[in-house]
Chains A and B, each alone.
Chain A
Amino acid sequence: MLVSFLPDLALLALVFLVLAADLSGEEGSRAYHAAWIGLTGISLLIIGMPFAGSFAGAGSGLYSAAEVSFAGYRTSPGILSWKLIFTLASLGTVLLSRPYFRDRGNFRGTLSKPGAFFALIVLCAFGMFTLVSARDLLVFYLGLELATLPLYALAAFQTRDADSVEAGSKLVLMGGFSSALTLFGLSLLFGVAGSLGFAALADAVRTVPNQPVLWGGVFFILGGLGFKLAMAPFHMWAPDVYQGAPTPVMAFLSVASKAAAVAALALLFFGPLDGLRPVLEGFFAAAAVLSMAVGNLGAMRQRDLRRFVAYSSVAQVGYMLLALLGEPAEAKIALQYNLIVYGVSGFALYFIMGVVGRDGPENLSSLRGLSRRSPGLAALLLLSMFSLAGIPPLAGFLGKFLLFSVAAAEGRYLLVGCAVAMAVVSFYYYMLLVKEAYITESGETAVAAGAPIILGTGRALAVWGLAMLLLLLGVVPMAADWLTARAG
């Protein structure tokens, strides 16, 4: 049974390993290597873990399709899919952040204390693991806190930059507030169920669904998770925090932390609170439309790339909320697939931001003339933008398609109509970036910024790898099949 928890234990060990590596290494490179090698290993471990159905003798003990649990902590193939997403997002963040610790690696200044940085990322990932593994309210809250607390420090990591410190303090205030809300909501649920366990809660929801206390609890939890998710109207913190935080931290917030919040929502409302979904459908639909509208309309006027990412990610949350209206099994696959393709498309953009951010602020005009300065980077930007906008045959299309079809399967065509209309709006602002890179070349800026960007081997490989992923995830059903096989 212990084998089933191997990824979790390995991740916990990795936190200490990274800290220990930092003690002996110079300039934090050991901590970096420990972190990325460890996270890669854990990803491979999860991908390779046998599950029922894939091996003839799977039932014989190593791992079974059914849930394996230990006190308030459980795991299953479906939960492992979430964990894989968290691990990969953390890995991406670690790889992305390497140059930010180098001298002149970034225009905003060099980050220090790499050991602490990487350890916090891994710790945060462990919090997310705990969150999705929870089978009682206490572990759930523990995971939520553990996945949030390190972010406060991470957001303020650019210690000499007032924006970054402001981002940190804003996140502390907002995060603390939303934690308090969630905790209050959880305590109300405990009051209804009379027990911490999810099973008891599910029973209580089934037997007495119309208790005001229960609805109060759900209300506060939705508020709290809404903050974490940056779902409109709880999204206000996101643009400021994304803008102030260092770019790798913004990447982590927008991919990993968002994935954790989505997973928490999915596990609660497809789990113990499933009985309440029919009543909450209106709420989810309204929140989805509002998030799509706020995110997409807000993103149109942004010139700072990190703020742009913030609004675009609010919009992505809106699309993902659509899945909560559908069948649990299909919805989970759609959400997971969408998080993966959103992560890949996002990291492609963040990677480009990191490269152009070496010599200047990360805003829209710093992309100008990119197609001449570096055709490879510009092509990656093109693919990433079209993927985020959901244009086939790129990965993002399949993600959006799965989400939309989950809602359409329930006959919610009007909602899908809203979503596709909003996707057209998003197409406009994603194209603005492509326009800067390919079309706008007038004036002195093009000449001034005209120095070609030479990519080293590692970065050239990253460009190729990301571009291939964006294409393959859109046309090869492999990843979707992998998730489908483990759904449940």
Chain B
Amino acid sequence: MTTAWMLSFTWILPLLSAAALMAFPREGNAAARRFALAVNGANLALVAWLSVLFVLDPPRTAAGSAETVLAFVSDYAWFPALNIRYHAGVDAISMSLMFLAAVVVFCGTLASWNIGSRAREFFILLQVLAAGVFGSFISFDLFTFFVFNELTLIPTYLLVGMFGSGRKSYAAMKLNLMLMGGSALILLGILGLYFESGIRSFDILELSRIRFDDGFQLWAFPVLFLGFAVLGNMFPFHIWSPDGHASAPTAVSMFLAGVHMKLGGYGCLRVAMYLLPEGALAWMDVFLVLATAGVAWGAIVAVRQKDLKYMNAYSSVSHCGLVFLGLAALNLVGLRGAVMQMLAHGFITAAVFCIIGMIYSRTHTRMIPEMSGLMARMPFLSVSFIIAGLAALGLPGLAGFAAEVNVFLGGFAAARPLTVVCTSLAVMSIVATAIYVLRATNTILHGPPNASAQGVTDATWLERIPLALLLACIAAMGLFPGPIAHLLDQALLPILANLDR
């Protein structure tokens, strides 16, 4: 019972802290960021502790059962007239994504230490954003899930618009309109699930027992899947993300690309595929092709980028394509790869955006050709950049490899011609990844130091903490993927059982 309360506390705490920050004096920027750090540190500790409890005693799924078993469950009526409930709990997928979210929020807080004016407003918005994401990951009632998911829209718009750089107003509007469009589809799909189920319920676990009419599944599945895929950065609905992520301030880029976007892949798996399996089987070829196109297109476009943030944003398009590729394999290995890819990409992209932000704050440029020889001046940041880059291109021993191997094995194991062809194409895109990662590394880190490297210093201790934490997570996941995969399988089996029925 107490653990159930603590799980809900992961979103209540950020929300309360946002309310508390409103009471801070308008000039109390330093106090605001210390307070935000304390709260997010506490929340990270809370999530870490819950994760430990979860790993020690994971909920077991009966063999062949399509029933998702949750830990730390709380279930209260919210709007009884509409049968809307607050049903919170976690399985291995949500728990691991919760951990990712907590780490990235904490690191993002540290990475935004130098926000000067309006830091109070910045952290208020960041806390609301975090609350929305935490709440989404633990909600097993579709209405509540939707509410939490939408709660992220308000702070995202203002964070990018007020604190961003470049064409921030354009980027913020584009990002929010696209996400809002995705949400519109999700809302339509959720209403369909609610009324077509015949039980007027939003509860994911109850709905998973219903076998929806095939005609309904055929139109509802693409609606829901596309709705989430917009958020999950699937080609060709990714167009909001490069502008959005490049314009956002560092912590927000880290959070949007690292965590928020994962809600898309998570929703595709948890809502669209779990509840509408027949629809998934019918439509997956379409999404398989789109996913492959995204993997290849993102990597190719990333090669052409000169702005580090745009390069990483397009690299995200490519890596999120791998998530959808894993989902489209429709087998255990592929689904496991998809979830692991979400985790791996979350840590890696957060680390890369974090480093880019720190480099930019020193060199005042993000353009690759304008930088050279940074390795000599800031060895810590440079080495971190190399590690994160190698993780992104899938070096064994780091997180990206563990995830990508599962995605690709899943694709080949599906043993259908289209899947195999698409997977082969996706494998080849790793070459493009290698090109842009190694070229960027080579250009900005090596060679003679130029004007950009004049008078710059290495990361301070405060800045090393988030990087060390993120890189530790990347390494841990790369070195010990087995236990993680084993845990995830328990949560994926019910989804797979539904797909196989």
- A binding-site residues for B, Cβ under 8 Å: 375, 382, 386, 391-393, 397, 401, 404-405, 408-409, 411, 413, 416-417, 420-421, 423-424, 427-428, 431, 434-435, 438-440, 477, 480-481, 484
Partner of B81, one of A375, A401, A477: A477
The yes or no answer to B80 lying at the interface (CB within 8 A) is: yes
**With a CB–CB cut-off of 8 A, which chain B residues contact A411?**
195
- C-alpha gap A405/B196 in the complex (Å): 12
- Interchain CB contact (< 8 A) of B184 among A392, A423, A439: A423
Alpha-carbon distance A184/B26, docked complex (angstroms): 62
Closest chain A residue to B187 by CB distance?
A420
A83 to chain B, nearest CB (A): 22
A-B contact pairs, 17 of them (CB 8 A): A382-B158, A391-B180, A392-B151, A393-B147, A397-B147, A404-B187, A404-B191, A408-B194, A420-B184, A427-B177, A434-B158, A435-B161, A435-B169, A435-B173, A477-B78, A477-B79, A477-B81
Q: How far is the CB of A441 from chain B (nearest CB, A)?
A: 9
Interface residues of B in 145-162 (CB under 8 A from A): 146-147, 150-151, 153-154, 157-158, 161-162
Cβ–Cβ contact A413 & B150, under 8 A:
no
Task: Tell me whether B195 and A408 are in contact (CB under 8 A).
Answer: yes
B130 to chain A: closest CB distance in Å?
15
**Known pairs A401-B187, A411-B195, A438-B161 / 17 extra A-B pairs, C-beta < 8 Å:** A375-B26, A386-B154, A391-B150, A397-B150, A408-B191, A408-B192, A408-B195, A413-B191, A420-B184, A420-B185, A421-B181, A427-B176, A431-B173, A434-B158, A435-B169, A435-B173, A439-B161
Chain A interface, DSSP helix/strand/loop, else mixed:
helix
B188 close to A (CB within 8 Å)? yes
Bound CA span A439–B169, Å: 7
The residue in B26, B80, B177, B191 that gathers the most chain A C-beta atoms within 10 A of its C-beta is B191
Report B-chain residues with C-beta under 8 Å of the C-beta of A434. 157-158
Q: How far is the CB of B191 from chain A (nearest CB, A)?
A: 4
Taking residues whose C-beta sits less than 8 angstroms from the other chain, chain B's interface range is: 20 to 34
**A431-B157, A431-B176, A440-B169 given as contacts; is B188 within 8 A of A413 (CB)?**
yes
* A442 CB to nearest chain B CB (Å): 10
Interface residues of B in 180-226 (CB under 8 A from A): 180-181, 184-185, 187-188, 191-192, 194-195, 219
Residues in B whose Cβ lies below 8 Å from that of A428: 173, 177
Asked if B168 CB lies within 8 Å of chain A CBs, one says yes
Chain A residues positioned under 8 Å from B80 (CB to CB): 477
Is B422 an interface position by the 8 A CB rule?
no
Chain B residues, CB < 8 A from A401: 187
Contacting residues, chain B, for A391 (C-beta < 8 A): 150, 153-154, 180
A438 — which chain B residues lie within 8 A by C-beta?
Answer: 158, 161-162
**Complex CA distance for A386 and B150, rounded to whole angstroms:** 11
In the assembled complex, how far is the CB of residue A426 from the closest CB belonging to chain B, in whole angstroms? 10
B46 to chain A, nearest CB (A): 23
| A420: B residues at CB distance < 8 A | 184-185, 187-188
Whether a CB of chain A sits under 8 angstroms from the CB of B88 is: no
Q: Which residue of A lies closest to B184 (CB)?
A: A420
B403 within 8 A of A: no
In the bound complex, what is the Cα–Cα distance between A481 and B180 (angstroms)?
Answer: 29
Interface status of B276 (Cβ within 8 A of chain A): no
- Give CA–CA (A434, B177) in the complex, Å: 14
From B172, B187, B191, B194, contact of A439 by CB (8 A): B172
**Does B177 contact A424, Cβ atoms closer than 8 Å?**
yes
**Is B154 touching A382 in the complex (CB atoms < 8 A)?**
yes
Q: For residue A375, which residues in chain B have a CB less than 8 angstroms away from its CB? A: 26
Q: A480's contact among B79, B150, B187, B219, by CB below 8 Å, is which? A: B79
CB distance from A450 to the nearest CB of B (A): 15
Please report the C-alpha to C-alpha distance between residue A438 and residue B163 in the assembled complex, in whole angstroms.
Answer: 10
- Please measure, in the bound complex, the distance between the C-alpha atom of A386 and the C-alpha atom of B162, giving whole angstroms: 17
| Nearest-Cβ distance from residue A486 to partner chain B, whole angstroms | 13
**Cα distance A431–B158 when bound, in Å?**
10
The complex places the Cα of A421 from the Cα of B219 at a distance, in Å, of 16
Q: Is the CB of A417 within 8 A of B153?
A: no
Q: Which residues of A contact B78 (CB under 8 A)?
A: 477
Residue ID in chain B nearest A477 by CB atoms: B79
> Do the beta carbons of B191 and A393 come within 8 Å of each other?
no
Closest-CB distance, A412 to chain B (whole angstroms): 10
Minimum CB–CB distance from B357 to chain A (whole Å) comes to 21
Shortest CB distance B248–A (Å)? 13
Give A392's nearest chain B residue, CB to CB: B147
Q: Which residue of B lies closest to A372 (CB)?
A: B118
Per the bound structure, the CA–CA distance linking A386 and B161 in Å amounts to 16
- Cβ-closest chain B residue relative to A434: B157
* B184:A409 contact, CB within 8 angstroms: no
Q: Which 8 A-B pairs have the closest CB atoms?
A: A420-B184, A408-B191, A392-B147, A439-B161, A477-B79, A392-B150, A427-B180, A424-B180
CB-defined contacts of B151 to chain A, threshold 8 Å: 392-393
Asked if A413 and B81 make an inter-chain contact with CB atoms under 8 angstroms apart, the answer reads no
CA distance A405 to B79 in the complex (A): 14
Alpha-carbon distance A420/B26, docked complex (angstroms) = 38
Which residues of the other chain, B, contact A484 by a CB distance below 8 angstroms? 81
A417 to B80, CA, bound (A): 26
Which residues from A are CB-within-8-Å of B161? 435, 438-439
User: Chain B residues with Cβ under 8 A from A397's Cβ?
Assistant: 147, 150
A391 to B181, CA, bound (A): 12
On chain B, the residues within 8 Å of A404 by CB distance are 187, 191
Which A residues touch B187, using CB under 8 A? 401, 404, 420
Q: Give chain B residues whose Cβ lies under 8 Å from the Cβ of A480.
A: 79, 81
**What is the CB-to-nearest-CB distance from B143 to chain A, in angstroms, rounded to a whole number?**
8
Bound-state CA distance A387–B173 (Å) is 17
Given A424-B180, A424-B184, decide whether A392 and B146 contact each other with a Cβ distance below 8 A: yes
Quick one: closest A residue to B178, CB to CB? Answer: A424
| A481 surroundings in chain B (CB, below 8 A) | 81
Give chain A residues whose Cβ lies under 8 Å from the Cβ of B157.
431, 434
Q: Which residues of the other chain, B, contact A431 by a CB distance below 8 angstroms?
A: 157, 173, 176
Whether A439 and B168, one on each chain, are in contact in the complex, defined by CB atoms closer than 8 angstroms, is: yes
- CB pair B188–A417 under 8 Å, yes or no, is yes
A413 near B192: Cβ-Cβ < 8 Å: yes
Q: Does the CB pair A421–B184 fall under 8 Å?
A: yes
Measured between alpha carbons, how far is A416 from B188 in the docked complex, in Å? 7
Q: How far is the CA of A381 from the CA of B265 in the complex (A)?
A: 33
Chain B 20-56 residues near chain A, CB threshold 8 A: 26
- Which A residues are CB-close (under 8 A) to B177? 424, 427-428
CA of A481 to CA of B79 in the docked complex: distance in angstroms? 9
Bound complex: CA A164 to CA B124 (Å): 43
Q: Which residue of A lies closest to B26 (CB)?
A: A375
CA distance A408 to B194 in the complex (A): 9
B108 to chain A, nearest CB (A): 21
| A-side contacts of B169, CB under 8 Å | 435, 439-440
Given that A439-B169, A439-B172 are known contacts, is A416 also in contact with B191, CB under 8 Å in the complex?
yes
Which of B115-168 touch A at CB < 8 Å? 146-147, 150-151, 153-154, 157-158, 161-162, 168
What's the least CB distance linking B417 to chain A, in Å? 35
CB distance from B126 to the nearest CB of A (A): 15
Q: Which residues of B contact A435 (CB under 8 A)?
A: 161, 169, 173
A382→B125 CA distance, assembly (Å) = 13
What residues of A have a CB within 8 angstroms of the CB of B219 in the complex? Answer: 413
Q: Once the chains are docked, how many angstroms separate the CA of A375 from the CA of B192?
A: 40
A484 to B158 Cα, complex, angstroms: 36
Residue from A375, A408, A428 with most neighbouring chain B CB atoms (10 Å): A408
Query: What A residues does B181 contact at CB under 8 A?
Result: 421, 424
